[in-house]
């Protein structure tokens, strides 16, 4: 019985095995071709990244100031870049192994590895020359040396990224950038990319990829500082990338990122997300993820007004040989939207890379400097209305309080604390007995000295703080420099002292007190409205917050009447130079002439070179520390003593023509509506406020006052009344 059962069991097992053998034969012999094709179809190609289009930047009217336009990049696998840079057999071997693992081996597999290595080295060397020939007819030809240098920069940058990521991870490991191709040639047009595909088809490590490049509007020079620049990703950007875990949004080593201006400030809005398409060997779509393009950004700036004011500012600067540049800011008083934000000189942003060396080394005119928001200057007499407001709010004066100005604070000492000097003479202005309105109209220093003494630094600086002095403008740009409100605490922390005359200096806008042009324009808007609010450049649905200064209507009226008198009263400091004729508005303004010293433009560095030869180099920099750093970077083998580095040149390069101290020329203003009798209607709010600064321009009344008149006229013409 047992044997019978065993035979049955063995028979069943044999039958099962026979069925399996038949089925295996059917799969591997009869239907082998069918399943081989199915298997091959299931294999997919390496996913292809789809680039996004970076958002455009527009002015308030919708004019496109900068946008992305389609182009193509020629990229090279990182392994080949590394092999070219390391120039070691191990680098070549590493790349060959990677190709074999990925199934992308570009050579016949029967060829020995040694022969492959030699062939590959020859191919890479030939590739650089062919890449160079592709650009031969371009406006900017690229030599093989330049292309190899660019590859080295990519190699070094990725090494830096790997090191930065290792710090974050706590261990060293390859980063994603080491498995990706990187752009060596960018901005190819349609014809170039077709030629490139044909030329480099035999190089499996060279790819032509769709991309985009920033293109600027015609006549974009007036907007260069505002729009800002794009730059290469650096290791810090990758290490701190908030999207590091998103393969479609993370930054990659060969990408560009906003580094200044609106390009930086609106980076998260302008940047999109990459897409991806995956195909099988028959080019059937396995996966298709669409790219998400960046959002457009609208500025509050009026493009036509910006261009007109840039030309006006340039003309004025050129009329004053000592001037190195200047700025104009125009604000909407109600919203504090920036209508114009002009810095001069500027540059053509379309050719920044070609111009960079000359721009960097022009330390006389400093065209890279964003003066309107980044440069702090003593505000001069533009601060005086705020000083008077502090006196009114603290009960130190009333609108009817009077002071006697003989031209000097003390009759015993005519060499200190004087009223302003009549330009071109040695005569000091003696205003006589004046009240607050008359003191502002005539810009009396003696009145302000005494008021500053009564208030003291603490009360002065508290009022300055209410009007935004000492903080950023709120414009949202990384270049936005906070002003300096030199409170007693600030003075002790930064100057380690508090001198008795400090309040007097602050009361006339000198000393450590400092503001940017956009902050002075906002201060004028505060004078006009009685309210402070941060300024806005990037248009959003959310208005900036505001607060009212705790002054009465009568106190504000006295301040505004004084500012009105500067231009419209025969005793006003600007009356002789500023003539604004308009049926609907009066120009109310405040002059300012802030005393300054010429600034450094170059430094002298005594050194000993690597051969022991002594010499002296002149480095074009506007500050000592950058000069030292640049010299050290450009001459790593030369020895020098930083303590012996001294100023070699200054701007202006000659003494003031009239023998006086140099001063920056300010004019701040607002347009006050007129009533039917062509008198200021103080019940209505001013529509715009502005600030004009001419560096080393001398008298604010003579230099910046007439320009401010033109600015107001152009603003009304462009914006409408």
Q: State the CATH architecture for 330-597+659-719.
A: 3-Layer(aba) Sandwich (3.40)
C-alpha closest to that of 694 among 274, 343, 449, 225? 343
On the question of pLDDT at 31 being above 80, the answer is no
Edge-to-edge, what's the strand order for the sheet holding 599-608? 614-619, 599-608, 646-651
On the question of pLDDT at 411 being above 80, the answer is no
**Residue 202's pLDDT band (cuts 50, 70, 90):** confident
pLDDT digits (tens, 9 = 90+) for 204-257: 888 888 777 889 999 999 999 999 999 888 777 777 778 778 888 888 777 789
* Angle 565-568-569 from CA coordinates, rounded to 5°: 60
On the question of pLDDT at 115 being above 60, the answer is yes
Q: Which CATH class is domain 48-298?
A: alpha beta
On the question of pLDDT at 71 being above 90, the answer is no
Which residues sit opposite 298 in a β-bridge?
58
Question: From CA 365, how far away is CA 139, in angstroms rounded?
Answer: 28
pLDDT of res. 675: 93
On the question of pLDDT at 110 being above 80, the answer is no
Q: What is the mean pLDDT of residues 77-87?
A: 81
pLDDT of res. 353: 84
On the question of pLDDT at 108 being above 60, the answer is no
pLDDT of res. 322: 92
**Residue 153's pLDDT band (cuts 50, 70, 90):** confident
pLDDT of res. 216: 94
On the question of pLDDT at 144 being above 70, the answer is yes
C-alpha closest to that of 592 among 577, 578, 579, 573? 573
pLDDT digits (tens, 9 = 90+) for 464-509: 999 999 999 999 999 999 999 998 888 888 876 666 568 899 999 9
Provide the greatest CA pair distance for the chain.
141
657 C-beta neighbours (distance < 10 Å), count:
10
pTM listed for this prediction: 0.83
Contact (Cβ atoms closer than 8 angstroms) between residue 531 and residue 524 = no
Q: Which residues in the chain are classed under CATH 3.40.710.10? A: 330-597+659-719
Least confident span in 390-404, 409-423, 587-601: 409-423
On the question of pLDDT at 394 being above 80, the answer is yes
Q: What is the mean pLDDT of residues 284-295?
A: 84
pLDDT of res. 8: 62
The two beta strands, 275-279 and 230-232, are: unpaired
C-alpha closest to that of 314 among 325, 303, 330, 302? 325
Question: From CA 261, how far away is CA 267, in angstroms rounded?
Answer: 10
Question: From CA 421, how far away is CA 698, in angstroms rounded?
Answer: 12
Query: Reduced to 3 states, what is the DSSP secondary structure of residue 152?
Result: helix
Contacts of 571 (CB under 8 A, 6+ apart): 438, 441, 442, 565
Question: From CA 285, how far away is CA 439, in angstroms rounded?
Answer: 79
On the question of pLDDT at 197 being above 80, the answer is yes
On the question of pLDDT at 463 being above 70, the answer is yes
On the question of pLDDT at 173 being above 90, the answer is no
Which residues sit opposite 258 in a β-bridge?
230
Sequence-ordered strand ranges (E) for 237-381: 256-258, 275-279, 285-289, 297-298, 326-332, 338-344
Question: From CA 442, how far away is CA 420, in angstroms rounded?
Answer: 10
pLDDT digits (tens, 9 = 90+) for 656-671: 766 678 899 999 999 9
Q: What is the mean pLDDT of residues 265-286?
A: 83
The two beta strands, 297-298 and 57-58, are: parallel
C-alpha closest to that of 316 among 568, 372, 516, 308? 308
Contact (Cβ atoms closer than 8 angstroms) between residue 366 and residue 325 = yes
pLDDT of res. 38: 53
> Environment class of residue 457 by beta-carbon count within 10 Å: exposed (0-12), middle (13-18) or buried (19+)?
buried
488 C-beta neighbours (distance < 10 Å), count:
13
**Residue 645's pLDDT band (cuts 50, 70, 90):** very high
**Residue 425's pLDDT band (cuts 50, 70, 90):** low
Average pLDDT value over all residues in the chain: 87
Q: How many residues does the chain have?
A: 721
Look up residue 525 and give its two tokens. Answer: 């808007």
pLDDT of res. 274: 85
Question: From CA 570, how far away is CA 612, in angstroms rounded?
Answer: 69
On the question of pLDDT at 41 being above 60, the answer is no
Q: What is the mean pLDDT of residues 550-572?
A: 95
Contacts of 45 (CB under 8 A, 6+ apart): 278, 279, 280, 281
Contact (Cβ atoms closer than 8 angstroms) between residue 694 and residue 318 = no
Question: From CA 613, how far away is CA 563, in angstroms rounded?
Answer: 63
Question: From CA 236, how far away is CA 528, in angstroms rounded?
Answer: 44
Say how many CA atoms lie within 13 Å of 9 toward its Cβ: 6
Contacts of 422 (CB under 8 A, 6+ apart): 428, 429
Question: From CA 119, how far away is CA 521, in angstroms rounded?
Answer: 67
């Amino acid at each position: 019985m047992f044997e019978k059962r065993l035979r049955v069991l063995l028979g069943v097992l044999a039958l099962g095995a026979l069925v399996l053998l038949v089925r295996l034969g059917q799969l591997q012999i009869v239907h082998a071709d069918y399943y081989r094709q199915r298997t091959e179809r299931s294999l997919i190609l390496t996913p292809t990244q789809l680039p996004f289009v970076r958002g455009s930047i527009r002015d308030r009217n919708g004019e496109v100031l900068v946008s992305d336009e389609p182009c193509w990049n020629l990229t090279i696998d990182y392994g080949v870049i590394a092999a070219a840079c390391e120039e070691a057999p191990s680098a070549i071997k590493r790349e060959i192994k990677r190709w074999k693992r990925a199934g992308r081996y570009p050579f016949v597999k029967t060829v020995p590895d040694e022969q492959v290595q030699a062939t590959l080295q020859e191919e890479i060397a030939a590739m650089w020359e062919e890449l160079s020939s592709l650009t031969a007819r371009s406006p900017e030809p690229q030599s093989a040396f330049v292309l190899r240098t660019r590859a080295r920069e990519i190699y070094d940058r990725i090494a830096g990224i790997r090191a930065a990521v290792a710090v974050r991870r706590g261990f060293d490991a390859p980063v994603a950038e080491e498995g990706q191709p990187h752009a060596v040639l960018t901005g190819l047009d349609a014809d170039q990319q077709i030629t490139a595909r044909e030329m480099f088809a035999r190089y499996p490590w060279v790819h032509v990829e769709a991309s985009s490049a920033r293109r600027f509007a015609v006549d974009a020079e007036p907007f260069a500082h505002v729009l800002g620049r794009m730059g290469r990703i650096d290791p810090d950007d990758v290490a701190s990338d908030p999207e590091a875990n998103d393969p479609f949004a993370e930054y990659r080593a060969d990408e560009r990122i906003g580094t200044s201006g609106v390009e930086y400030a609106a980076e998260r809005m302008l940047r999109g997300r990459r897409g991806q398409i995956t195909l099988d060997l028959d080019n059937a779509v396995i996966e298709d993820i669409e790219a998400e393009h960046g959002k457009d950004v609208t500025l509050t700036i009026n493009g036509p007004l910006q261009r007109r004011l840039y030309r006006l500012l340039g003309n004025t600067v050129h009329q004053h040989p000592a001037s190195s540049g200047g700025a104009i800011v125009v604000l909407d008083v109600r919203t504090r939207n920036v209508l114009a934000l002009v810095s001069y000189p500027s540059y053509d942003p379309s050719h920044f890379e070609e111009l960079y060396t000359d721009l960097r080394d022009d330390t006389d005119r400093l065209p890279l400097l964003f003066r309107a928001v980044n440069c702090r200057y003593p505000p001069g007499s533009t601060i005086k209305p705020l000083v008077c407001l502090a006196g009114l709010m603290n009960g130190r004066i009333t609108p009817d309080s009077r002071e006697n100005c003989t031209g000097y604070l003390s009759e015993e000492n005519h060499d200190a604390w004087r009223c302003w000097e009549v330009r071109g003479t040695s005569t000091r202005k003696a205003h006589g007995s004046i009240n607050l309105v008359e003191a502002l109209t005539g810009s009396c220093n003696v009145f302000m000295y005494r008021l500053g003494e009564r208030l003291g630094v603490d009360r002065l600086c508290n009022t300055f703080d209410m009007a935004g002095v000492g903080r950023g403008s709120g414009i949202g740009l990384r270049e936005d420099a906070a002003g300096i409100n030199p409170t007693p605490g600030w003075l002790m922390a930064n100057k380690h002292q508090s001198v008795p005359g400090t309040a007097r200096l602050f009361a006339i806008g000198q000393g450590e007190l400092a503001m940017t042009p956009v902050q002075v324009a906002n201060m004028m808007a505060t004078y006009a409205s009685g309210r402070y609010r941060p300024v806005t450049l990037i248009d959003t649905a959310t208005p900036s917050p505001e607060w009212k200064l705790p002054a009465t209507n009568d106190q504000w009226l006295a301040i505004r009447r004084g500012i009105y008198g500067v231009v419209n009263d025969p005793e006003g400091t600007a009356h002789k130079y500023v003539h604004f004729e308009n049926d609907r508005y009066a120009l109310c303004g405040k002059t300012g002439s802030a005393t300054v010293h010429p600034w450094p433009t170059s430094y002298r560095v005594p050194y000993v070179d690597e051969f022991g030869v002594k010499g002296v180099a002149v480095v074009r920099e506007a500050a000592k520390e950058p000069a030292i750093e640049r010299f050290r970077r450009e001459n790593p083998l030369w020895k020098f003593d930083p303590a012996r580095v001294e100023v070699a040149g200054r701007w202006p390069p000659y003494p003031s023509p009239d023998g006086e101290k140099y001063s920056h020329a300010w004019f701040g203003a607002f347009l006050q509506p007129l009533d039917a009798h062509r008198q200021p209607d103080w019940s209505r709010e001013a529509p715009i406020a502005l600030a004009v600064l001419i560096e080393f321009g001398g008298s604010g009344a003579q230099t910046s006052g007439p320009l401010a008149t033109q600015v107001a006229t152009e603003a009304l013409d462009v914006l409408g009344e």
